[in-house]
A and B are shown apart, each in its own frame.
Chain A
């Protein structure tokens, strides 16, 4: 054997030397240098892999010396055999068909995880958050919303008491997934609206009450919010967005600037899809409540249509929207009966 041509660095000085590396059957590695040979046991060598067709392959010696083996198929085969490596990652990286297969696999796996794995994991995690922590999170969210968005309700006391009594008797008493409580607020910028926070806090704005032509319309909206509470949607979305962020980090690594913005787009779309799914679930919960209570399902869609008209809102394209379109919701209401 004539050995492998290497560039040898002794690890003490930066002067390189050309040398030959001989690997013999007795398990000895010998570096042949002009001023004498150096011997090592092959088992002591750290033989690296080659990454890229034009980069050198490293061999580290126990005394801190280092050798570079320039690209050469025969040397690679020999070093693979000596090191007991198969070089399979190197071979995968060397050719296009494998790369395309890896790309397909990555896309499929990421899509499958976001579509099926993540929602299930997030629902399980949301179910395991202790009730008092969930309540604390909800109270804190309420304080923050109160500071930034909402004003105290201007609705008269009697009206509030009447609606609250209705809510407690008809919805809260049958609610699944823990206690719910109703808060009245003036909506300000968010206008006619209702929200569900973690820990069973349901907020309804004065503007929404003003838009209703029948109390059952409001009860339907509240049942919808109770549906969010029963399914623990807020916590679930917190975990889902954490999971999305983790997936994005794994997929894109260290991106910055507009590149990360572009990469975030699929995450935004996925998040909107999760949100629409939650709205559909909450609608289904509200329709279930309506059927049991003998309230016509159209009470909710009537109110939604009135709101659409009053805000003059055209629909966002579905894939960007956090809510299903009003027409889809109306169709879902009709489908039940």
Chain B
């Protein structure tokens, strides 16, 4: 058995392998959902663990799968605290308008904390070959990335943008460790600046094309509007059709940006003797994002598991390491226990810094 786990005979550059399928994940997702409903939401913590175990266990590097170690009880506790915080926040915002200033200050302090704790939990609950990942809880860096950098970008009229982008990825990567080996991101500002300029160019082209498409759609709708005997229904169709080119353009731009960032940052990242690699195609990625969105809309959400698996498979299978031969030499460290509160609060308030 288990030819799949044999370390390849010839060590060298290798990509990640993703063995999950949409149909299989659909069944896991829907069973999770039904059990969550039957238990009035309590099972959601177990559902999350199974979902992540599925994605981690389906991701292999040099034949070995990743492991997720999150504990459902810890996640449930985090969720309960998160829901209480959300309710308290909502109630205060709704009923005590005078507290808005205090909430504003709390936001500035709490968001970097949440984002950092979430990353800490995610990393410490991840292992590969029995060695855990770790994260240095750099709250100051998170504060700089979230609040300071955008302000500087605005006041410098965009000149600080390359620095802001690098800051964000340095925070993510340089604070991450595999065992006792720290990841290092080494990239100059120049390639980031070029990437930003290229993306700006692409954005302008996409914008022009989208405006043209909107105008064409407008003409088209104007001529076929007569079948609708009332104005409002015609208007509704009009709005939906106008939305399509804008949406499509948005996906193309997002795919372009994401592939540019990952293709730049990951190959510039090293952990000890191992360098990361990434070679995504903007066209493929845009196709996946756009068709995923279409599938989800047309199936009223049922396509979601297939969409997630497609995106994960493409992203993972075009990411890898420079030398699998060096993967045996990493040393683990003791990691402390971490509560899931930050991550769960972050999920509920929808704040996150991710790759």
A residues bordering B, Cβ < 8 Å?
5, 7, 9-16, 48-56, 58, 60, 64-66, 68, 70, 72, 89, 92-96, 98-99, 101-103, 105-106, 109-110, 133, 136-137, 140, 242, 250-252, 254-255, 257-259, 261-263, 265-266, 314-317, 320
Contacts and interface: CB of A to CB of B under 8 A. Distances in A.
Contact of A99 (B4, B30, B293): B30
B65 to A, nearest CB: 5
Given A9-B130, A68-B64, 14 more contacts: A5-B1, A7-B5, A14-B131, A14-B330, A51-B57, A52-B54, A52-B58, A55-B53, A106-B30, A106-B37, A136-B95, A250-B36, A255-B304, A317-B233
A254 B127 CA distance: 23
A110 B95 contact: no
A254 B90 CA distance: 20
10 contacts: A5-B1, A13-B131, A15-B329, A16-B64, A16-B130, A51-B53, A52-B19, A102-B35, A254-B347, A315-B230
Contact of B293 (A7, A58, A65, A258): A258
Nearest to A249: B348
Interface of B: 1-2, 4-5, 7, 19-20, 24-28, 30-31, 33-38, 41, 44, 50, 53-54, 56-58, 64-65, 67, 69, 90, 94-95, 97, 127-131, 179, 229-233, 236, 247, 250, 292-293, 296-297, 300-302, 304, 307, 327-332, 347
A93 to B, nearest CB: 5
Contact of B24 (A53, A252, A262): A53
A92 B31 contact: yes
A315 B231 CA distance: 9
Given A9-B131, A16-B129, A55-B65, A259 B31 contact: no
A55 B64 contact: no
Contacts of B38: 105, 109
B95 A137 contact: yes
Contacts of A51: 28, 50, 53-54, 57
A102 B31 contact: yes
B34 to A, nearest CB: 4
B67 to A, nearest CB: 6
Contacts of B27: 92-96, 98-99
A255 B304 CA distance: 9
A241 to B, nearest CB: 12
Contacts, number: 175
A52 B24 contact: yes
B300 A262 contact: yes
Contacts of A262: 296-297, 300-301
Given A15-B329, A110-B37, A259 B293 contact: yes
A113 to B, nearest CB: 8
A55 B57 contact: yes
A14 B2 contact: no
A305 to B, nearest CB: 17
A96 B296 CA distance: 20
A102 B129 contact: no
B129 A9 contact: yes
Instruction: Give the 3 A-B CB pairs with smallest separation, nearest first.
Output: A9-B130, A55-B57, A314-B230
A124 B153 CA distance: 49
Contact of B330 (A13, A254, A265): A13
Contacts of A5: 1-2
Nearest to B330: A14
Given A66-B127, A72-B1, A14 B328 contact: yes
A101 B95 CA distance: 43
Given A250-B41, A251-B33, A64 B332 contact: yes
Contacts of A65: 130
Q: From A51, A315, A317, name the one whose CB has the most chain B CB atoms within 10 angstroms.
A: A51
Contact of A103 (B30, B90, B95): B30
Nearest to B131: A14
Nearest to A242: B90
A76 to B, nearest CB: 13
A53 to B, nearest CB: 6
Contact of B30 (A12, A102, A257, A315): A102
Q: From B4, B24, B33, B300, name the one whose CB has the most chain A CB atoms within 10 angstroms.
A: B33
B83 to A, nearest CB: 9
A70 B1 contact: yes
B91 to A, nearest CB: 10
A70 B64 CA distance: 10
A133 to B, nearest CB: 6
Contacts of B301: 251-252, 259, 262-263
Contacts of B65: 55-56, 68
Contacts of A137: 94-95
Contacts of A102: 30-31, 33-35
A54 B19 contact: yes
A75 B230 CA distance: 66
B67 A66 contact: yes
Contacts of A109: 34, 37-38
Contacts of A92: 27, 31
A7 B64 contact: yes
Nearest to A58: B67
B130 A14 contact: yes
A282 B230 CA distance: 28
